[in-house]
Amino acid sequence: MADPRFFQVAGPFTLGQLAEICGAELSAGADAGKVISDVAALEGASTDQISFLDNRKYVSAFAATAAGAVIVHPDLAERGPAGTALLLSKDPYRAYAMVAQTFYPSPAPVAWISPSAHVDGSARIGADCWIDHGVIIGAGAEIGDRCRIGSHAVIGAGVVIGADGAIGANATIQCALIGAKVNIYPGARIGQDGFGFAMGVQGHLKVPQLGRVVIGNNVEIGANTTIDRGAGPDTVIGDGCWIDNLVQIGHNVQLGRGCVVVAQVGISGSTQFGDFVAAGGQSGFAGHLKIGSGAKIAAQAGVIGDVPAGQTYGGYPAVPRLEWLRQSVILGKMARTKR
């Protein structure tokens, strides 16, 4: 299914192996020994491929699929074609992720340092790292085991990167301490000066930015995203955060664990997110705010005040979601009726 110029499929695996890998239950009558050779979408899957149903919108595709097996929630099990082998899971998308990772694992890097890389003599490079062409690693930097540093990435002096990290091509990192299993995409900019200056008609005056960027474990940071270092305190990204492309994170911002920050979000200086906050695409946050754990912010919302834990906000300026929806409804009604 996946283009072999770009992806290498592992396997094949038996249905029984896949069920075990993803913690799913085989449907009654399914053959645990059946051989599955790849993943595929419901439409277009063939009888030796496994697919999944997560979004109810695609139930009709499920009903018509020729897939050899489908990962599905037990509640929807009977909606598939008679006789199709099912892997029953309460979280079919997660189960699919595990299966797809099985067919398309990330191979461990081969130990190699390109002769065109510039690695400072005082830098420490862990075991089995792949340091690609033109990579720059500054004095005293520490790169953990099994890291993969992409071409022309620039890692500044003193930067620490934990084990199993991946730094994308042309990315730039300075003044940063980064945990294990962190994946930084091409062109991301980590640790440059925050936007700090004293304004004045005689000229704005730079305030030295003396903090760092501290990133936890299992974090993803998207392409061309920018994360400024702290002004004095650190900028902190908690464990398990997923940050999309073209996001701006200002100095001193703190994100808790597991936050999801969609593309083009902007978070102004010193704002703090709790754990598992979700910020929709292009939403913006003023500075010095507290966004409680589990809060959800709609795409394009303009957040200018604190948001309590667990709340969903939207609008510009952002208000609780129901209020925002009502505003839209009322305004729409007036626009259609008033003169």
Annotated catalytic sites, by residue? 251
Q: Please report whether residue 245 would count as binding its own copies according to CB under 8 A.
A: yes
Q: Which residue has 């990435």 as its token pair?
A: 153
Residue 104 burial (C-beta neighbours within 10 Å; 0-12, 13-18, 19+): middle
Contact 304, 322 (CB under 8 A): no
CA distances from 330 to 324, 334, 336 (A): 10, 6, 10
- Which of 23, 31 has the CB closer to its own copies? 23
What's the min distance (Å) between Cβ of 254 and its own copies?
15
* Between 77 and 100, CB nearer to its own copies: 100
| Residues numbered 119-148 forming contacts with its own copies, rule: CB under 8 A | 132-134, 136, 140
What is the edge-to-edge ordering of all strands in the sheet holding 69-72?
25-26, 85-88, 69-72, 49-52, 38-39
- Choosing from 248, 292, 306, 308, the residue that interacts with its own copies (CB under 8 A) is 248
Residue with tokens 């720059």: 136
- Residue 201 interacting with its own copies (CB under 8 A): yes
Q: Which of 31, 75, 204, 310 binds its own copies (CB under 8 A)?
A: 204
195 binds its own copies (CB under 8 A): yes
Strand partners, 25: 88
Strand order in the sheet with 136-137: 118-119, 136-137, 154-155, 172-173, 189-190, 226-227, 248-249, 266-267, 284-285, 302-303
Of positions 24, 175, 215, 236, contacts its own copies by CB under 8 A: 175
Say how many residues touch its own copies, by CB under 8 A. Answer: 111
Cα 54–chain centre separation: 19
Residue 12 touches its own copies, criterion: CB under 8 A: no
Pick the binder of its own copies from 189, 238, 295, 296 (CB under 8 A): 189
Site for its own copies in 209-238 (CB under 8 A): 210-212, 218, 220, 222-224, 226, 228, 232-233
List of residues 6+ apart from 90 with CB closer than 8 A: 73, 74
Residue 6's CB is within 10 A of a number of other CB atoms, namely 6
Among 28, 82, 110, 198, binds its own copies (CB under 8 A): 198
Among 279, 284, 296, 312, binds its own copies (CB under 8 A): 284
Could you tell me where the DSSP H helices lie in the chain? 15-22, 59-64, 92-103, 321-337
From 62, 130, 273, 276, residue interacting with its own copies (rule: CB under 8 A): 276
Among 145, 309, 316, 321, binds its own copies (CB under 8 A): 316
The smaller minimum CB distance to its own copies, of residues 12 and 281, is found at: 281
Comparison of 11 and 242: residue with beta carbon closer to its own copies: 242
Residues 176, 190: contact at Cβ < 8 Å?
yes
The answer to the question of residue 335 lying near its own copies (CB under 8 A) is: yes
Both tokens assigned to 145: 């085991």
Binding to its own copies in span 61-120, by CB under 8 A: 91, 93-94, 96-98, 100-101, 103-104, 114, 116, 118
